[in-house]
Amino acid sequence: MLKKVQKLIADVEVFKTTSRDEIEAFRIKYLGSKGLLKELFNEFKTVDASMKKDVGQALNNLRNTTSTKVQELNDSLENAQEIKNFYGDLTRPSEPIELGSRHPISIVRNRIIEVFSKIGFTVSEGPEIEDDWHNFTALNLPEYHPARDMQDTFFIEKDPDLLLRTHTSSVQVRYMENNEPPIRTISPGRVFRNEDISSRSHCIFHQVEGLYIDTDVSFADLKQTLLYFTKEMFGKSKIRLRPSYFPFTEPSAEVDIYWGLETEIDYKITKGTGWLEIMGCGMVDPNVLKNANIDPEKYTGYAFGMGIERIAMLLYQIPDIRMFYENDVRFLEQFKSII
């Protein structure tokens, strides 16, 4: 009999279920008024006196183990119910998560960085609050130079001048001061100009400027790089360079791409010419190299600069520059599919 009881104890110990009915059936089977324990206690009366102590202990053990088991099973069932009430049905499908979208300015900036990084340009950044030296003087724009009027400036302090940078060329000066040629870097960033706000211009906008300095860099290198960029960025393979003026480059040029005249929109954005101006460029003026402690006898370089908003407006046909800064979700949501 002892063996039988011990076997039952082992059975009870391994018993498992999560069903209320099965727990109840288990309880009745062992502890019920006609259950196994009742039967066993009856049988116990016939057990030989020498075995009574051991079998009695085993029976008590079986009864205790069984009632503890029933208690445990009921408790865990209640716990599960509580969790369910608290969290709801854990097996139901989750709520869809709203996907955000990148701002169109970030999309275009990242794309420009990607295109130039493929040909070895690194990304450099600098402060938005600049001193006069890095924003103007080092770039061949001494005080009282009339070309300073090209970029209406927000001043923060006078003498010594502290201002909001008007272009990211200031980052390039910093880069030249701290790095030896060969230099191949682009500087994306926010710039500020004291201009009236309209659908075409804003007092805050973004630029990417590029700088390449090495021995024997020529205007042909510049043109080839720009051609590569317009092909990758716009899928257009015709550009033209028109002579222009920037104080920090000589010679200087404006870059136009041939956009085409296939649609009415093409007519509108190119004013019927098919050509679109997208950036300024030129060979770095020897004075600028000298100001940044680079020997202009040994090194030459080119630079270019473009406005990110302008390019984003072209690519996505955005009619008003102010839309970039209003953060209207109906506008921003339209860029969800672009990474």
Within residues 215-244, the interface with ligand PHE by CB under 6 A covers none
The distance of closest approach from Cβ of residue 249 to ligand PHE in the complex, given in angstroms and rounded to an integer, is 5
Which residue has tokens 């680079």?
294
- The 10 Å Cβ neighbour count of residue 121 is 21
CA distances from 338 to 91, 223, 263 (A): 33, 29, 23
**Binding status of residue 281 toward ligand PHE by CB under 6 A:** yes
Size of the site for ligand PHE (CB under 6 A): 11
Residue with smaller CB distance to ligand PHE, 66 or 169: 169
Residue with the CB atom nearest ligand PHE in the bound state: 305
Which residue among 130, 132, 209, 256 contacts ligand PHE (CB under 6 A)? 209
Cβ nearer to ligand PHE, comparing 54 with 161: 161
- Nearer Cβ to ligand PHE (30/246): 246
Residue from 138, 233, 239, 303 in contact with ligand PHE (CB under 6 A): 303
Under rule CB under 6 A, residue 305 binds ligand PHE: yes
What amino acid occupies position 277?
E
The DSSP code sequence of 163-223 is EE-SSTHHHHHHHHHH-PSSEEEEEEEEEE------SS--SEEEEEEEEEEETT--HHHHH
Q: Which of 124, 135, 140, 249 binds ligand PHE (CB under 6 A)?
A: 249
Q: Which stretch binds ligand PHE (CB under 6 A): 10-18, 20-28, 33-41, 298-306?
A: 298-306
Restricting to residues 115-174, name those near ligand PHE by CB under 6 A: 167, 169
Least separation in angstroms between residue 107's CB and ligand PHE is 22
Q: Are 280 and 304 contacting, i.e. CB atoms less than 8 angstroms apart?
A: yes
**Is residue 128 within 8 Å of residue 189, measured between CB atoms?**
yes
The answer to whether residue 280 forms part of the interface with ligand PHE (CB under 6 A) is yes
Question: Rule CB under 6 A: is residue 62 a binding residue for ligand PHE?
Answer: no
In sequence order, which residues have a C-beta less than 8 Å from that of residue 148 and are 6 or more positions away? 136, 141
Examine residue 308 and tell whether it contacts ligand PHE (CB under 6 A): no
Strand order from edge to edge, sheet including 239-246: 122-123, 183-192, 204-214, 300-307, 275-284, 249-258, 239-246
Of 282, 299, 301, 312, the one binding ligand PHE (CB under 6 A) is 282
20-33 b/e with 16+ CB inside 10 Å = b?
eeebeebbeebeee
- Counting every residue written for the chain, the total comes to 339
Interacting residues toward ligand PHE by CB under 6 A? 167, 169, 209, 246, 249, 280-282, 303-305
